[in-house]
Chain A
């Protein structure tokens, strides 16, 4: 962005640049599958979908806890399940060398997947 387009700025330009670059990196993330790395691309796609479902399950669980409809035992069991799911996802991300940013997709006008 040319400096003459900045009309008001109360934050150091470097900080703004850094913040915008972070977003650009996230926005440009794509499933990058080629004949050479098809396995990795497929793993990224599958793990992205699993992560989406995991987060939906987590949201639903939070809603149920907040709704007050769960007993202490149910909260305990749900906590255990969600914790194991998250740990398993961490393991899989390590195996396929993927980060949280890799498991998000830009859906154009719909915004980010997660």
Chain B
């Protein structure tokens, strides 16, 4: 019978406690969750016949539910959905080979939660403002050529579009600086993806101490007051999905 791995858990020298937590949570497809222990690390796993493991959205959500329930009672590193191995021995070997990086990552996320932040704007409205600014620049694109043919105009339009994209990106970078400044007191670790789409200009994740959740929300509310044209969507708390940095030693 194959094993599916859910999370690496800090057992803090008390493996029986993690065993108990695992036993009280149902694994995916109704399987029994249990913990494998090695020194100060435990791994939450359950049996799953390979034939039953058919990837679906429902199964992925159920997998996330298990990690969520575990994270409410422990410090953990979530494992990627679909990590299935042949035996418990392989898992113990995995922990043994990667013991120090696992411990270091667990220490990094101890007492912290992940929060998500999407910044959304009305693209047409906001880009129009930035477009007007770009077009008012002294060094206009018409200085590149005095010709007004269809081909020249085509290329100069491309230049204009390129400048607008550059200006939008600069605007988003300034916003990241501003957000970072507003969150200085909370001192989160943050990661950003810029211009995810026309409307989602920023997709950020933050690793924040559990006790600073309200402070974080207040800081974003204050930021919203300064930016009428932006909308903020804050989600969480999540297990630290985006802050685990381990290159697994597979040897």
Contacts and interface: CB of A to CB of B under 8 A. Distances in A.
Interface of A: 1, 5-11, 15-16, 19-20, 22-23, 26, 58-59, 61-62, 65-66, 68, 70, 72, 75-80, 82-83
Interface of B: 115, 118, 120, 144-147, 149-156, 158-159, 162, 196-197, 199-200, 213, 217, 220-221, 224, 231-236, 238
- The 10 A-B pairs with the shortest beta carbon distances in the complex, nearest first, are A79-B155, A79-B151, A11-B231, A8-B234, A80-B151, A10-B231, A7-B234, A72-B145, A83-B154, A19-B199
A16 B120 contact: yes
23 contacts: A1-B235, A5-B238, A7-B115, A7-B234, A7-B236, A8-B220, A8-B221, A8-B234, A10-B232, A19-B199, A19-B200, A23-B196, A26-B197, A58-B158, A59-B162, A61-B158, A62-B158, A68-B144, A75-B156, A76-B152, A79-B154, A80-B151, A83-B155
Nearest to B153: A79
Contacts of A8: 217, 220-221, 232-234
A75 B146 CA distance: 11
Max chain A Cβ within 10 angstroms of own Cβ: one of B146, B149, B152, B220: B152
Given A7-B236, A8-B217, A75 B145 contact: yes
Contacts, number: 95
Contact of A6 (B150, B196, B233): B233
Chain A facing B: main interface SS: helix
A11 B224 CA distance: 11
Given A7-B115, A22-B197, A79-B152, A72 B147 contact: yes
A1 B242 CA distance: 17
B147 A76 contact: yes
Contacts of B118: 16
Nearest to A63: B162
Given A7-B234, A7-B235, 18 more contacts: A6-B234, A8-B233, A9-B233, A10-B231, A11-B232, A58-B158, A59-B162, A61-B155, A62-B159, A62-B162, A65-B155, A66-B144, A72-B152, A75-B144, A76-B145, A76-B149, A79-B150, A79-B151
